[in-house]
Amino acid sequence: MLYFGLIGLLIAGSIIAVFQVVPTVLPPSLPSILAKDGTVAVYFASTPSDTSGNQDTSASNSRLSGLAISAKPVMNITSLNVTIDSVMVHKSGEANDSGWTEISHGSVTLDLLKPTTVSTIIGSSKLPAGNITMIRLHVSVATATVKDSTGIISLKTVVVSSGKLEVPLRPEAHVGVQMTTSITLDRPHIVEGNGQIRLTPALHAVVNGPR
């Protein structure tokens, strides 16, 4: 009996030792394997923004985003640099004033009139699995370089309504566990008229994934 008792103590001690040692020898990647998060990445498309004239710059946002802005532009805009300093996504099922999560890490500046070879990433982060209903981009600076008929170049401030661009996602974008969802945004449309240059506030998005 004493023999079997000693064997039992040895087995119990070995089990305790294993549970004490295992946490220190598990690979660092194991917590991420066990996580229930996915990754969402937001990009600007590589295709440049299009430009049109609009003599009525007091028009509603819906009109600015529609067919009413097909007039020929008046200004010769050679570049339009926009700086995005915050990218936020809104989770499904949350109230409009809550449920926002920031996924950007620093600001990104892009010339909307200059094409790129690949889409430009403007925000990426891990998020709990679920659906995203909207993306919000905060614009800290937007300026355009304009050349007049005599060749003189000037810098003009670009109007961005409420300092942000919003992208409703219909259908909603799904974030899957241990998968990546990529959302590519068309660059905002540039509207000019009455001496102003502005960006349309609503953008179109293409969702790929999760995969």
- What are the phi and psi torsion angles at 29 (to 5°)? -75, -15
Q: What is residue 149's predicted lDDT score, i.e. its pLDDT? A: 82
7 lies in a domain? no
Say how many domains are in the chain.
1
24 lies in a domain? no
pLDDT in tens, the chain (211 residues): 544 444 454 555 554 444 444 444 545 555 555 568 899 999 999 999 988 876 444 444 444 444 344 566 678 899 999 999 999 999 987 666 678 999 987 899 999 999 999 999 999 999 999 999 999 999 999 999 999 888 899 999 999 999 999 999 989 999 999 999 999 999 999 998 888 999 988 789 999 989 9
DSSP per position, 36-47: -EEEEEEEE-SS
21 lies in a domain? no
> 178: domain range?
29-208
Query: What's the CA gap between 175 and 51, in Å, rounded?
Result: 34
8 lies in a domain? no
76 lies in a domain? yes
